[in-house]
Structure 1
Amino acid sequence: MSCLPFLVVMLDVIARLPPKNVAQCKLVCKEWLDFILERKFVRAHCHYMRASADQKLLMVGWKTIEVHSLNYKSPGFIVPRGVARPFYAHPSRMFFLASLDGMLCVCLQNTCELVVWNPLTTKFKKLANSNSQGFYKVDSDALGFFVDSSDDYNILHIKRRRGTMTVYIYSMELNSWSTVRFLKHRPYHHYTYLWSPATLYGLTVIRFDVNSKLFSELCFPNVYDDEVSGSLVNINEELHMYVCIGNYDYRREIVLWRLKNKSWMKGHVL
């Protein structure tokens, strides 16, 4: 029987292994090491790990950050593993803004710097530079983590300063920032518009196309109430929104809406 093609071995066999075993495979030869470091292997490995029974939960306490296994069949699932922070920041002074494929985008409150960090590998990258890019201001800015059509990891940073809106995109492959245009027909630079960590607040959703790099507006679900807020969530590769009706002291209803053909369809009521 002929040997399996190299790509089949790497993307259909090695990519299914747990992270510890993948790390051991790097020692086989230089060809394996180089391929494992490529983005297409990283994306394939993350795809299989999302379907794995052994999912990880990052829990942030007042003084510690721990990783918990969610695999209840494992004898050590209840044993937390402490996470070392490779940068100086107390857990209570860290804002976790976005996550993607095991990586976190974190704002260090003491310096306002943005950091991309993988808690399992402990690798990190500070994004701030001398041009004041990569500094995040809570309650004024918004941020997103995405992969573009070239499989490059990007950070989208909508920055509001002194009545102006500027949008930056950080490319992890190029290790540099670039700018894109934001919407002009509404005064989003005004502080009456409150950005939330979940990307939206109120009755307007701002949409960003990761391939065309263009912004657009999306209507809010058809809800008639003075006290409404929402949070976006990806379920089975479809965009959903949990809409909460009522104030923080008294929630009257929580409804799950699904986006289909640029319209919201009402789903489960909680």
Structure 2
Amino acid sequence: MFCRMQRLEFEMFANEILSRLPTKCVGRLRCVSKQWRYELSSHLFAIIHYRRTAKYEDCKLIMLTKSSIDLHNLISGKVDISSRKIISFPVDTCLSNLTILASECGLLLISIHWLPNELILWNPTTNQFKNLCDKKPKHFFDFKTDAVGIYIDSSNDVKILLLQRRMDHIVPHLYSRNTCEWKTLTFMKGPDLGSSLYWLSSGSLCNNVLYFPSPHYWTPAKSYTIAFDVESETFSKVSIPQSTDVIGRQTSFLKIRNTLHMFIVV
């Protein structure tokens, strides 16, 4: 009982006091003892620290090229070219096979579109990673047809939503970083939800809702947006403004986003 009280007291101390320190200081404090390393490496502490220091610390810009992964500092919204640092990807693969899909709380969601296709959750700061498809069948993630989104729920758990599109069916799966498990959700029912659509491969989070734009190949009037409420874990269909050049604009945006990505170190 006494040891448990001590642990709770130190956890409160870490979350309330140490979480307000700069990232480099936290890194040094992890070397104090095993207990300090354990508490300061937890998912909960990382999220609390990120939310409290994000507005004070400089952002980082990752540039993914065919030959290297470059890391730059962003100072007052401007790229510091002199701060360029080349970092390595922890999985042995050609860099041309990598695509940055999304980021949240200093974590990057990476697609390795090769055989088999894989989803990698990667922390560029510590270089730790998790292969989210290591126990799944071949082609679990299809970059051309599937879509993903990342967010943090009300319990401070990092969640990854995967929308698998197979023929005319869409099957949603939700991954929990705390439990390291996938679960299958219920999707909407209706015609033309899985066919003849062009998807971006990552959703945009706004006000606890993940949005997946789904322009129609041949008929712009049939285009819509899939909305996922992260609190209720339910889906809805939202109309989007019509455009005669939906496909071209979406494609150009995807090419730009695949090259650059900004995140805040945790």
TM range (shorter): 0.7 to 0.9
- Deviation at residue 229 of structure 1 after TM alignment: 6.6
Q: Which of 30, 33, 38 is equivalent to 1:34?
A: 38
- Deviation at residue 152 of structure 1 after TM alignment: 1.1
Instruction: Report percent identity of matched pairs.
Output: 28
- Deviation at residue 146 of structure 1 after TM alignment: 1.2
Structure 2 gap segments, 5+ residues each: 1-8, 203-211, 216-222, 253-266
For 2:214, the equivalent position in structure 1 comes to 201
2:229 and 2:102 map into 1 onto residues whose CA distance is 17
Aligned pairs (5 A) from 1:88-237:
88-110=92-114, 111-132=116-137, 135-190=140-195, 192-198=196-202, 199-202=212-215, 203-220=223-240, 223=241, 225-228=243-246
- Deviation at residue 27 of structure 1 after TM alignment: 2.2
2:56 and 2:246 map into 1 onto residues whose CA distance is 36
Shift of the 24–69 alpha-carbon distance from structure 1 to 2, 3 Å rule, reads same
Shift of the 194–225 alpha-carbon distance from structure 1 to 2, 3 Å rule, reads closer
1:175 and 1:165 map into 2 onto residues whose CA distance is 22
- Deviation at residue 50 of structure 1 after TM alignment: 2.1
- Deviation at residue 118 of structure 1 after TM alignment: 0.9
For residue 48 of structure 1, give the secondary structure of its aligned residue in structure 2: helix
Please identify runs of 4+ aligned residues in structure 1 that moved more than 6 A: none
1:168 and 1:50 map into 2 onto residues whose CA distance is 30
1:52 and 1:91 map into 2 onto residues whose CA distance is 32
- Larger RCO of the pair (alpha carbons < 8 Å, separation 6+): 2
- Deviation at residue 79 of structure 1 after TM alignment: 2.4
Deviation track 1:18-67 (CA, whole Å, cap 9, x = no partner) reads 32321211122344333223333111111134212421111111200011
* Alpha carbons 2:159, 2:176 under 8 Å: kept: yes
Deviation track 1:193-214 (CA, whole Å, cap 9, x = no partner) reads 1111352133411111112111
Residues paired across the two proteins, number:
226
- TM (normalized to structure 1)? 0.74
For 2:20, the equivalent position in structure 1 comes to 16
- Deviation at residue 219 of structure 1 after TM alignment: 2.7
Shift of the 72–185 alpha-carbon distance from structure 1 to 2, 3 Å rule, reads closer
Shift of the 48–163 alpha-carbon distance from structure 1 to 2, 3 Å rule, reads same
For residue 165 of structure 1, give the secondary structure of its aligned residue in structure 2: strand
* Alpha carbons 1:128, 1:135 under 8 Å: kept: yes
More helix by share: 2
2:172 and 2:67 map into 1 onto residues whose CA distance is 34
For residue 149 of structure 2, give the secondary structure of its aligned residue in structure 1: strand
* Alpha carbons 1:104, 1:117 under 8 Å: kept: yes
- Deviation at residue 158 of structure 1 after TM alignment: 0.3
For residue 107 of structure 1, give the secondary structure of its aligned residue in structure 2: strand
* Alpha carbons 2:168, 2:192 under 8 Å: kept: no
For residue 156 of structure 2, give the secondary structure of its aligned residue in structure 1: coil
Shift of the 112–120 alpha-carbon distance from structure 1 to 2, 3 Å rule, reads same
Deviation track 1:89-137 (CA, whole Å, cap 9, x = no partner) reads 2221101111111111111122311110111110001111444288321
Structure 1 gap segments, 5+ residues each: 231-243, 249-270
For 1:48, the equivalent position in structure 2 comes to 52
1:24 and 1:30 map into 2 onto residues whose CA distance is 13
